Amino acid sequence: MNKDKNISTSDSMSPFERIRRTNEAGFEHWSSRDFASIFRYTDYRNFESVIGKARLSCFNSGHRIEDHFVDITEMVIIGGWPLK
């Protein structure tokens, strides 16, 4: 079960603050699926190339990709079926 929780929403908050998540230890993080919806990608597969470009930019600027991007598998509801 995902123990992460979204920060409360407010009209005065930026969209990035609205999708911010914190885990039980208090660490903040963001989900790429949430970013995709902010940028109005209706199909997540189309957003994956954006993530690839962000990872490359991170690397090219001298940062360790592992410090900024974590590969996870997030369960989503597809159609009316159970989580996949």
What is the value of pTM for the model shown?
Answer: 0.63
Q: How far is CA 39 from the centre of its chain?
A: 12
Average pLDDT of the chain is 84
Give the end-to-end CA distance of the chain in Å, rounded to a whole number.
13
* pLDDT digit string, tens, across residues 24-62: 999 999 999 999 999 999 998 999 999 999 999 999 999
In the chain, where the domains are located: 1-30, 43-84
- Largest Cα separation within the chain, whole Å, is 44
> What is the predicted pLDDT for the residue at 55?
96
Q: Is residue 18 within 8 Å of residue 9, measured between CB atoms?
A: yes
